[in-house]
Amino acid sequence: MPVKKKIQQVEIEEQVDWAPKVEEKRVIADLRETLEDIKKKDGIIGYIIRGTTSASVDIKDPSKIIDYAALSAEAIESGETLSSTFGLGKVCSIVLEGKTLKVLSLTKGEQQLSIFMEKSVDHNSIRQEIE
Amino acid sequence: MNEEILNIALKNALAEIKNAVSDVNWTFILTDNGTVISGEDTADPNMTKAASSFQSLAEKASAIGGLDNMLITGDKGKVYVSSINDMYLVAGLTEDADLVYFRTLTGAVLPTVLKVVNSITSSSLAPTPIKPTTFKPTPQIPYTPLKPIAPKSIPSELQIPDEDEELMAQEQEPTEPEQTIESETLELNKPQELETSKPPVEEVPSQQLIVDRFSGLMVKADTVQLDVDILKRWSALLDVKEIDEVDIETFSGKTARCKAKVINDSKLEGRGLVRIPEKTCQLLDVRRGELVRVKPVIPEESD
């Protein structure tokens, strides 16, 4: 059984106008709850959420965390570059398929998330669950 | 693979794919050396920008076993990237594009194009077996006989060659051009000259041979392989025990002095080949199938 590792940064309150942040926190909490449910499914390897002030990583194989985090960031950045270059508008999702695994990356509110899964998993159903 | 042919073939294939699929806005192929082959008449500078961004992503994709394909869905369109052999096809599609049809089409067309181009270029580069008649000495050395029979067949004790021996020697030759026989006869008439004098440096025989590149762990970069017949003929002509070194000259003027050995692959014997190690080929800037001029180096102690 692979060791689960969770890295979480503490969010820092900076603004006086904190009312929208409560909403945001709720969204993040809901999102994490959804991701936890998704993670229980067969073929799901883990996920990475990156917000403006915090990041959360939950990957089954801890030795892969850095590689996956780098890939996730690069996929989102590359998607945005290609989108702005070719006028695709707002990026809804990025599906990156490797020889062994695939990654579904999307942006939900302020949160950028990437879900790593086996190639046999239907990423469209995962995306619908999140959206 | 010939890059120019490949580029033309892929460019045409991309143009045809775009014509066949109305959902395609633009396409380009990113090769493993970073070249962008566009299906458009004029290359879009955005493609180069996108290619560099994508290259960096492809490197990081090793975490998931290398990049196979990618789909970016925007609210105004899609970008689909697919790996084909060691290249990437990047296509801009409309929002409601039929991705399955596009994948099927490109997955069938592009690998086929690559395969065809590869087979055409590799077959055109393969050395063709040449007839023995092409083993003529170069025109610059008119007196050079084709076979080493002449000097060997005249023993120095006899001084004058026996007419029967001469006829036999001529009969043994398979099919030689008349002119060559004449020159040979001319040599036979002057046996003493051949016996006593060593050919001057400018009259060293040379031969045009087809390059065959070879490599391996135990291959010495300074040693080329030649037909045993050629080496024997040269050693007989130069009246030396054996030819240890040869000068190789390319048509672009590059030269290299290499040690000479006999071709060790019986299948390649008698085909007019000079087998040059890969490193030396790179130094001489020659490719497999090209012609080079090979001259024997006269050893210092040839007496």
| Residue that the structure tokens 């023993």 belong to | B155
Q: Find the CATH number of the domain harbouring A66.
A: 3.30.450.30
- A52-64 average pLDDT score: 85
The answer, yes or no, to whether residue B203 has pLDDT greater than 90, is: no
The answer, yes or no, to whether residue B298 has pLDDT greater than 70, is: yes
Q: Which residue has the higher pLDDT, B27 or A20?
A: B27
CA angle A41, A46, A47 (to 5 degrees): 115
CA distance A73 to chain B (A): 9
Nearest CA in chain A to B90: A82
Is A77 among the domain residues? yes
Residue B300, both tokens: 């210092």
Residue B154, both tokens: 């005249």
Of B66-80, B146-160, B210-224, the one with minimum mean pLDDT is B146-160
pLDDT of residue B191: 42
Q: Look at residues B294, B297, B256, B250 and name the one whose alpha carbon lies nearest to residue B273.
A: B294
Cα B85 to Cα A66, B9, B32, B107, B178, distances in angstroms: 28, 15, 10, 11, 54
CATH 2.40.50.140 fits B127-141+204-303, yes or no: no
**Cβ-proximal residues to B62 (8 Å cutoff; 6+ apart), any chain:** A67
Q: Are strands B273-277 and B207-214 parallel, antiparallel or unpaired?
A: parallel
Nearest CA in chain A to B68: A98
CA distance A64 to chain B (A): 8
Q: Which residues does chain B have within 8 Å of residue A74's beta carbon, measured at their own beta carbons?
A: 56-57, 60
Of A5-14, A100-109, B21-30, the one with minimum mean pLDDT is A5-14
Contact A97 B68 (CB under 8 A): yes
Q: What's the number of CA atoms in the CB half-sphere (13 Å) around residue B249?
A: 11
The answer, yes or no, to whether residue A36 has pLDDT greater than 80, is: yes
* Cα gap B196→B206, rounded to integer Å: 21
Q: SS3 for B208?
A: strand
B262, β-bridge pairs: B226
Of A42-51, B67-76, B133-142, the one with minimum mean pLDDT is B133-142
**Which CATH topology does B3-125 take?**
Beta-Lactamase (3.30.450)
pLDDT of residue B204: 72
Is A9 among the domain residues? no
Local confidence band at A8 (pLDDT 50, 70, 90 cut-offs) = low
Contact A91 B65 (CB under 8 A): no
Q: What is the pLDDT of residues B30-64, one digit of tens each?
A: 887 777 888 776 667 777 777 777 878 888 888 88
- B153-178 average pLDDT score: 47
Judge contact between B94 and B77, C-beta under 8 A. yes
Q: SS3 for A4?
A: coil
**Which uninterrupted H or E stretch holds B280?**
helix B278-284
Closest partner CB to B72 (pick from A64, A67, A79):
A79
Query: B282-286 contacts: CB < 8 A, separation 24 or more?
Result: B283/B254, B283/B256, B284/B248, B284/B250, B284/B254, B284/B255, B284/B256, B285/B250, B285/B252, B285/B254, B286/B211, B286/B250, B286/B254
pLDDT of residue A1: 58
Nearest CA in chain B to A117: B64
Amino acid at B303: D
pLDDT of residue B252: 80
pLDDT of residue B205: 80
Amino acid at B179: Q
Judge contact between B156 and B195, C-beta under 8 A. yes
Q: What is the pLDDT of residues A66-80, one digit of tens each?
A: 889 999 999 998 888
Local confidence band at A60 (pLDDT 50, 70, 90 cut-offs) = confident
Domain range enclosing A54 = 20-130
Contact A98 B66 (CB under 8 A): yes
CA distance A59 to chain B (A): 13
Q: What is the pLDDT of residues A86-123, one digit of tens each?
A: 888 999 999 999 988 999 999 888 888 999 999 999 99
- B112-124 average pLDDT score: 78
**Which uninterrupted H or E stretch holds B34?**
none
The dihedral built from the CA positions of residue B187, B192, B193 and B199, taken in this order, carries a sign that is positive
Residue B19, both tokens: 């014509």
Query: B98-107 contacts: CB < 8 A, separation 24 or more?
Result: B98/B21, B98/B23, B99/B71, B101/B21, B102/B21, B102/B23, B102/B24, B105/B17, B105/B20, B105/B21, B106/B17, B106/B82, B107/B82
* Cα gap B96→B80, rounded to integer Å: 13
| Residue that the structure tokens 């040690």 belong to | B259
Cα B123 to Cα B1, B94, B254, B268, B276, distances in angstroms: 10, 40, 26, 17, 20
* Cα gap B82→B52, rounded to integer Å: 16
pLDDT of residue A6: 59
Q: Which residues does chain A have within 8 Å of residue B54's beta carbon, measured at their own beta carbons?
A: 78, 82
Is A14 among the domain residues? no
Q: Which residue has the higher pLDDT, B29 or B86?
A: B29
Of A22-31, A57-66, B77-86, B292-301, the one with minimum mean pLDDT is A22-31
Judge contact between A11 and A53, C-beta under 8 A. yes
Is A6 among the domain residues? no
User: Chain B residues within 8 A (CB-CB) of chain A?
Assistant: 25-26, 46, 49-50, 53-54, 56-57, 60-79, 92
Q: Where are the domains of chain B?
A: 3-125, 127-141+204-303, 142-203
Nearest CA in chain A to B78: A88
| Residue that the structure tokens 């592009």 belong to | B110
- B50-79 average pLDDT score: 86
The answer, yes or no, to whether residue B130 has pLDDT greater than 70, is: no
Contact B60 A67 (CB under 8 A): yes
Contact B76 A103 (CB under 8 A): no
ipTM over 0.90: no
Is A2 among the domain residues? no
The answer, yes or no, to whether residue B232 has pLDDT greater than 70, is: yes
B277, β-bridge pairs: B214
For testing contact with chain A, the best of B23, B60, B94, B99 (most A CBs within 10 A): B60
Closest partner CB to B63 (pick from A68, A78, A89):
A68
- B101-119 average pLDDT score: 86
Contact B72 A70 (CB under 8 A): no
The answer, yes or no, to whether residue B171 has pLDDT greater than 80, is: no
